[in-house]
Amino acid sequence: MNRRTWIHAWLMLLPAFVFLIAFTHLPAVTTLIDSFWTTGKGRRAAVFTGLGNYRKMLEDPIFIKAMVNSAVYAAITIPASILLSLAMALLVHRSFRGVSLMRMAFFTPTVLPLIAVANIWLFFYAPGFGLIDQIRLVVGLPSANYVGQPDTALYAVAAVTIWKEAGFFMIFFLAALQTIPQSLREAAAIEGCGRWTFFRLVTLPLIMPTTLFVSVNAVINAFRLVDHVFVMTKGGPDSATMLLLYYIFETGFRFWDTAYAAALTVVLIAILSVVGIGQFFLADRRVHYK
């Protein structure tokens, strides 16, 4: 390639580089640097503490609680939203009357902003006059305060995430299902293969790449989607719904302990990188059907 082409290539790439460096790479590097310092206040300058912020995490009960909560939250929302979306995709991957209406109904939660969704669900959960409580009263059960009790609050929040995400993932599964050639189904029918066997031996392997893509997204979202926590619980009661990203926000912008928030961010990025890279490398070998 001659010089001119190189210059052209760099010029074309320049705008993207500028934005990527200014808004992604530089902040990431400064976050890493900040995490080794204390938070500077007007009256006290920042001092270098090395791993001080990271040591503090090990003794911080709310951080540990947030890690446990995030793990539980991920363990519930990831498989549940994937299974639900696959089930919904299989259901609407046929033609029957009203199929487009049903597809639309499944997809609607995806279109709504999470803040609006959280407000709707807050009304569902409201003790006394909420939707769920009114149903409970009809069948004679006592009133329940789902988001106000520490033993149910995290599940109440997780349910919203699943409801919100499943419709989005369904679209990917639906697209994948539609690429499976009809001839395979006919061949299987001639061989006398049952529906479950066909699903297990043909459909599932063929949609594996989509499953990988969806599960990577589900993992990222399990750490990223916290908007509804702001509306529904603010991390309470007693940190029962404290998730890692919400704790970062609280530390950084409510407590103004920006150095500790930077260290927490580094931990979050490390977790996401390990999980993301691991998923691609480990799963990659078994994903593509040969």
Partner 1 sequence: MRLLNVFLATSALTLFASAASAVDLEFYFPVAVGGPAAGTIQSLTEDYMAAHPDVKIDAIYTGSYADTTTKAITAVRGGNAPQLIISLSTDMFTFIDEEMIVAWDAYVTEEEKESWIGGFYPAFMANSQTEGKTWGIPFQRSTPVLYWNKEAFAKAGLDPEKGPANWAEMVEMGKKLTVKDASGNVTQWGVHIPSSGFPSWLWTGIVAGNGGLLADDTGTKVTFNSDAAVGALEALVALSATDGVMAPGILDWGGTPKAFFEGQAAMIWTTTGNLTNVRTNAPFDFGVGFLPGLTKNGAPTGGGNFYLLKGSTDEELQAAADFVKWATAPEQAAKWTIATGYVAPRPDVWETQTMKDYVKDFPQALVARDQLDYAVAELSTFEGPKVTQLLNSALEAAITGQKSPKEALDAAQAEADAILAAYR
Among 6, 23, 199, 255, binds partner 1 (CB under 8 A): 255
**Residue 81, Cβ neighbours under 10 Å: how many?**
27
Nearest approach in angstroms of CB 141 to partner 1 is 8
At 58, list the tokens: 């090990």
Tell me: does residue 250 bind partner 1 (CB under 8 A): yes
Helix or strand holding residue 47 (H, E): none
Which has the closest alpha carbon to 117: 159, 54, 78? 159
Nearest approach in angstroms of CB 237 to partner 1 is 4
- Which residues inside 79-138 make contact with partner 1, applying CB under 8 A? 122, 126-129, 137
Residue 290's identity, in one-letter code, is K
Question: Rounded to whole angstroms, how far apart are CA atoms 277 and 230?
Answer: 30
Helix/strand/coil for 48: strand
Among 253, 273, 277, 280, binds partner 1 (CB under 8 A): 253
Stretch that binds partner 1, among 88-96, 105-113, 139-147, 263-271 (CB under 8 A): 139-147
Q: Which CB, 17 or 255, lies closer to partner 1?
A: 255
The number of residues that bind partner 1 (CB under 8 A) is 30
Tell me: does residue 147 bind partner 1 (CB under 8 A): yes
Stretch that binds partner 1, among 3-11, 91-99, 147-155, 212-220 (CB under 8 A): 147-155
At 76, list the tokens: 């519930």
Tell me: does residue 26 bind partner 1 (CB under 8 A): no
Helix/strand/coil for 44: strand
Tell me: does residue 143 bind partner 1 (CB under 8 A): yes
Helix pair 114-125, 150-178: axis angle to 10 deg: 130
Q: Which CB, 70 or 215, lies closer to partner 1?
A: 70
Sorted by sequence, the CB contacts under 8 Å of residue 42 that are 6+ apart come out as none
Q: Which CB, 126 or 174, lies closer to partner 1?
A: 126
48: β partners:
37
- Which residues inside 217-246 make contact with partner 1, applying CB under 8 A? 233-234, 236-239
Eight-class DSSP state of 233? T
Tell me: does residue 8 bind partner 1 (CB under 8 A): no
Nearest approach in angstroms of CB 18 to partner 1 is 21
Tell me: does residue 257 bind partner 1 (CB under 8 A): yes
Helix or strand holding residue 39 (H, E): none
Nearest approach in angstroms of CB 159 to partner 1 is 17
The DSSP secondary structure of 157-221, one letter per residue, reads HHHHHHHHHHHHHHHHHHHHHHTS-HHHHHHHHHTT--HHHHIIIIIHHHTHHHHHHHHHHHHHH
Among 79, 98, 113, 150, binds partner 1 (CB under 8 A): 150
Nearest approach in angstroms of CB 78 to partner 1 is 27
206 touches 289 (CB < 8 A): yes
Dihedral of the alpha carbons of 126, 130, 132, 133, in degrees to the nearest 10 = 90
**Contact footprint for partner 1 (CB under 8 A):** 41-43, 62, 122, 126-129, 137, 140, 142-143, 145, 147-150, 233-234, 236-239, 250, 253-257
